[in-house]
Structure 1
Amino acid sequence: MKLTRSSAAGGVAVVLVVGLLAGGLWLSFRPKPLLLEGEIEATEIDVAAKVPGRVATLEVKLGQKVEAGALLFTLESPELLAKLVQARGAQDVAGAQRRKADTGARQEEIRAAEQQWHRAQAAAELADSTLGRVDRLFRDGVVPRQRRDEAEAQAKAARAAAASAKAMHEMALAGAREEDRAAAAGVAAQAGGAVSEVEAYLAETQLKAPRAGEVSSLLLDAGEIAPAGFPVLSLVDLNDSWVVFQIREDLLAGIGIGTELTGRVPALGNHEVTFKVDYLAALGAFATWRATSTSAGFDLKTFEVRARPVTPTPGLRPGMSVIVPWKR
């Protein structure tokens, strides 16, 4: 009887040991759950001016929230101010020339031209009378032909001078030609465009926020030179954020545009957020070598997957991690 009990106890012990070994082996070799780890990104805007200048003032601080249209910083540009003075001076000259062309001759000039015409007309009439008298004397044989030819030439010259003076008077009455007025108008428009151009550049010395956001970085301080196109500060739009995953292609089964993923955000106390995939593309620079046998292998592409929160999530910021459990 004692031997039977001892044998039974030994059998139970053997079963327990075998069970523990089997359980340990199962725990060791069972498939581990796959976790997709992504990082939150958001739209970031570098704010730069089109013109170079010295940073005069910074109107915002790092981390400050700003609304669209808020003044961010100002630049100093004495060169642009000098160009504006020059452009406005050229505009004044062009405007005066256009007014002169449109108005025509002054009344004093018109009257002077009229007097010149009358004087030339009187001289022509006198020359014609003189020619008539000299011609009669020539026919009577009193004066030689030379004298008669001289009188005729003087009469022709006087009539031409009268015609010229009349034309000058009519031109003064008519004013500038249409082509001259058009040319003057074109010069005035060109000068006005130059002023508008310089004013537009000057407006670029007062930089305002293109959209609402948070100041994420300040790259220059007041007093430093800002080259054209170089960002002075950056804004981040926390309302336009997404999570980025880099997933090997053999793990993409079940992920496509419109797929919803639920992940936890450790930085928000493991708060669960639902994301919807809206972008998927291969990353050509990334590949993972995967062996298919002891003698060969192939490259697996890595895909960038982006997903946006289905509902707004307060506190979500760029750089936060997102952990998504995923089944193979």
Structure 2
Amino acid sequence: MRANRILALVGLVALGLILAYGLKLAYSPQPSLLQGQIEAREYNVSSKVPGRVEQVLVRRGDRVAEGDLLFAIHSPELDAKLMQAEGGRDAAKAKQSEADNGARRQEIMAAKEQWLKAQAAATLAKTTYNRVENLFNEGVAARQKRDEAFTQWQAAKYTEQAALAMYQMAQEGARVELKAAAAGNARMAEGAVKEVSAIMQDSQMRAPKTGEISDVLLQAGELAPSGFPIVSLIDMQDAWAVFQVREDQLKGFKKGQKIQLNIPALEQDIEFTVSHISVMGEFATWRSTESGHDFDMRTFEVELRPSQPISDLRVGMSVLLRGE
């Protein structure tokens, strides 16, 4: 009997201790736990040139370096525009060369011959007039004859002056204004070629950053609209952790503050630095713990960046912050 009483007493003491420990745990403040996730910079690579995808050189999961060729777009319409622009450029440059070089040697020689011809005609007309003038003074020729000879001499003289002006103009070449206009047209045509060439360069798209291909949305042979993303690239070197923090917990975060976060997938505690706290809150749609308040709490987005690169980090991994 005595042994049974002792055992019962020991059982009651043990039960009391267990109840006391349970009550202590129930009324002791529990450490808070905030859960966030990893995000990273994503680039959607598209082409300004609409056309058919000629080739895609990457697949999901491929690692690419900045400048690596990702895909190419073929556009026959753009090839035709380039041909037109190059033709306009060649024509404008030919006009500029013509204005700069002036008349050809043969044209200058022809203008000179026309002037000499007009000069000879004017000399002959003057000689003829002098003869008719002498006959008129002697009373042999009529006044009408003398007037006709004088008019022909004057006309021949003006023709000589016009031929001389044409000869001098051929020697001088094009006017300064005409040369400037030709040069301007040549520059404008060259700009059109460069514009089309720049657009064509966008048909050969290269990686804007070093990273990993996360998605390929179109394959070779498919039509690609202008601006439609064909390849998505994620740069894990530009990764950060995002938390949705309730406003009553926001006081625990300061910009520039260093915080130890746990990444369960990597089984590591890693130092992060608070880089951004949103200036505008939103009504909470998810709460990591009960707030204990009878009014709606707002949440604020908090971003933290790792103090050093993290190996094997992936977008979407959970990040935990344990409080006191």
Q: How many Å apart are 1:23 and its aligned residue?
A: 3.1
Code of the aligned partner of 1:262: Q
Q: Give the alignment's TM-score, normalised by structure 1.
A: 0.90
Kindly indicate whether the alpha-carbon contact (under 8 Å) linking 1:282 and 1:301 is maintained by their aligned counterparts in 2.
no
Please say which of residues 161-170 and 126-135 is displaced more in the overlay.
126-135
Taking the TM superposition and a 5 Å limit, the aligned residue runs for 1:59-138 are 59-138=57-136
Taking the TM superposition and a 5 Å limit, the aligned residue runs for 1:158-177 are 158-177=156-175
1:203 to 201, 208, 211: 201
Task: State, as a whole percentage, how many aligned pairs show the same letter.
Answer: 48
For residues 253 and 36 of structure 1, what CA distance do their matches in structure 2 show? 14
Aligned residue for 1:267, secondary structure, equals coil
1:40 to 34, 38, 48: 38
Taking the TM superposition and a 5 Å limit, the aligned residue runs for 1:281-296 are 281-287=278-284
2:219 to 221, 231, 241: 221
Aligned residue for 2:254, secondary structure, equals coil
Once the two structures are superposed, residues 272-321 of structure 1 have per-residue CA deviations (whole angstroms, 9 ceiling, x without a partner) of 111111111144443479775xxxx5443211111111122111111000
Aligned length: 319
For residues 311 and 11 of structure 2, what CA distance do their matches in structure 1 show? 57
Is 2:51 the counterpart of 1:50? no
Bigger share in strand: 1
Code of the aligned partner of 1:309: P
For residues 205 and 283 of structure 2, what CA distance do their matches in structure 1 show? 39
Code of the aligned partner of 2:63: K
Taking the TM superposition and a 5 Å limit, the aligned residue runs for 1:307-322 are 307-322=304-319
Name the residue aligned to 1:249.
Answer: 247
Q: How many Å apart are 1:144 and its aligned residue?
A: 2.6
Q: How many Å apart are 1:87 and its aligned residue?
A: 1.4
For residues 155 and 308 of structure 1, what CA distance do their matches in structure 2 show? 99
Code of the aligned partner of 2:40: A
Code of the aligned partner of 2:120: A
Q: How many Å apart are 1:46 and its aligned residue?
A: 0.8
2:277 to 254, 276, 280: 280
For residues 283 and 143 of structure 2, what CA distance do their matches in structure 1 show? 112
For residues 48 and 7 of structure 2, what CA distance do their matches in structure 1 show? 89
Kindly indicate whether the alpha-carbon contact (under 8 Å) linking 1:83 and 1:198 is maintained by their aligned counterparts in 2.
yes
For residues 153 and 282 of structure 2, what CA distance do their matches in structure 1 show? 98
Once the two structures are superposed, residues 45-83 of structure 1 have per-residue CA deviations (whole angstroms, 9 ceiling, x without a partner) of 111112112111111111000111111111111111111
Code of the aligned partner of 2:172: A
Q: How many Å apart are 1:216 and its aligned residue?
A: 0.7
For residues 8 and 63 of structure 2, what CA distance do their matches in structure 1 show? 74
Kindly indicate whether the alpha-carbon contact (under 8 Å) linking 1:91 and 1:192 is maintained by their aligned counterparts in 2.
yes
For residues 65 and 260 of structure 1, what CA distance do their matches in structure 2 show? 31
Code of the aligned partner of 1:44: E
Kindly indicate whether the alpha-carbon contact (under 8 Å) linking 1:282 and 1:302 is maintained by their aligned counterparts in 2.
no
For residues 236 and 278 of structure 1, what CA distance do their matches in structure 2 show? 20
Computed over aligned residues only, the root mean square deviation of the Cα atoms, in angstroms, reads 2.4
Name the residue aligned to 2:300.
Answer: 303
Code of the aligned partner of 2:297: L
Residues 155 and 28 of structure 1, relative CA distance in 2, 3 Å threshold? same
Q: How many Å apart are 1:29 and its aligned residue?
A: 3.0
Unmatched 5+ stretches in structure 2: none
For residues 141 and 228 of structure 1, what CA distance do their matches in structure 2 show? 95
Residues 80 and 210 of structure 1, relative CA distance in 2, 3 Å threshold? same
Once the two structures are superposed, residues 110-129 of structure 1 have per-residue CA deviations (whole angstroms, 9 ceiling, x without a partner) of 11111110110111111112
Kindly indicate whether the alpha-carbon contact (under 8 Å) linking 2:133 and 2:146 is maintained by their aligned counterparts in 1.
yes
Q: How many Å apart are 1:10 and its aligned residue?
A: 8.8
Once the two structures are superposed, residues 198-232 of structure 1 have per-residue CA deviations (whole angstroms, 9 ceiling, x without a partner) of 11111111111111110011111111111111111
Code of the aligned partner of 2:161: A
Please say which of residues 145-154 and 239-248 is displaced more in the overlay.
145-154
